[in-house]
Amino acid sequence: MATPIGNLGDMTRRAIETLKDVHVIACEDTRVTGGLLQRFSIVTPMLPYHDHNADRVRPQILARLQAGEAVALVSDAGTPLISDPGYKLVRDCAASGITTIPVPGASALLSALVVAALPTDRVLFAGFLPAKSGARREALMELSSLRATLIFYESGPRLADSLADMAAVLGAREAAVCRELTKLHEEVRRGPLTELSAAYLAQDTPKGEIVVVVGGAAQEQAAASEADLDQALRDALVTLSLRDAAAAVAEALNQPRRTVYARALALGKK
């Protein structure tokens, strides 16, 4: 079973009853979960389960489940399995024929999507971007042509640099920075990536859990057909070097330079 932990107000009656009824609660940090359990007079034993001990503890949890016990999985903040080792436990439960029951609660991902004021019909959750700028920009480039709202998790210390890379790769797309959602100090700031980047570079490091929601590529930014791209490159290569031709076609067709350059290289080898 899985149940989320956000602030105390996010606890549903079903979640409280679940935590009382199971045999053991698997949690990231017993200190955090212990405070929650005390608040609701829950005396169920706890078992630490987190990134550092997951490989060792997971077989113990599976053995207890196979013996007929009920186990609740909770996280320190947000919904279990989203950017934590919980999915491996559910994967192994499924492989062993053990039933997993979700107990809905607060979700930073969905809460941010609701308040971002951006399209919700097509969405891509990309988790945490790489920590280093070069790798982060490369990851963003791969997502740049998608006509889907992009959702990222980010930490306070990395937020300003991540927004700067987003602005550099994705341009002035509309975005929202959502911090501490469903909690006491909830904050949502909307605007073009360029403005948000400048604002967070100029202020102190924000605290708390952060979600960044970014608008997808516009209609004209959707990937050009391979035939159109190839023809444009062939025409440009008549008078330009490979590098200059790729740059010119990328700008003309509003396509990622890296993608166009790779295609130009491929054509050059034929």
Task: Please state which CATH number belongs to domain 108-220.
Answer: 3.30.950.10
pTM of the predicted model as reported, rounded to 2 decimal places: 0.73
pLDDT the model gives residue 231: 83
The kind and range of the H/E element at 38 are: helix 30-39
Residue 47: strand, helix, or coil: strand
Q: What is the 3-state secondary structure (H, E, C) of 62-75?
A: HHHHHCCCCEEECC
Q: Is residue 247 within 8 Å of 254, Cβ to Cβ?
A: no
**Residues linked to residue 72 through DSSP beta bridges, in sequence order:** 25
Closest listed residue to residue 152, CA positions, set 206, 105, 195, 214: 214
pLDDT of residue 6: 40
In the CATH hierarchy, which top-level class contains the domain 8-95?
A: alpha beta
Per-residue confidence (pLDDT) for residue 1, from 0 to 100: 40
Amino acid residing at 188: V
Residue 178 main-chain phi, psi, to 5 deg? -115, 120
Helices vs strands, H then E, count in the chain:
11, 8
pLDDT of 137:
92
CB of 25 closer than 8 Å to CB of 49: no
Asked if 159 and 179 touch (Cβ cutoff 8 Å), the reply is no
Binned average pLDDT, 10 residues per bin, the chain of 270 residues: 43 91 95 93 95 94 96 86 83 94 87 95 95 93 91 96 93 94 91 95 93 85 68 81 83 78 78
The pLDDT of residue 223 is 56
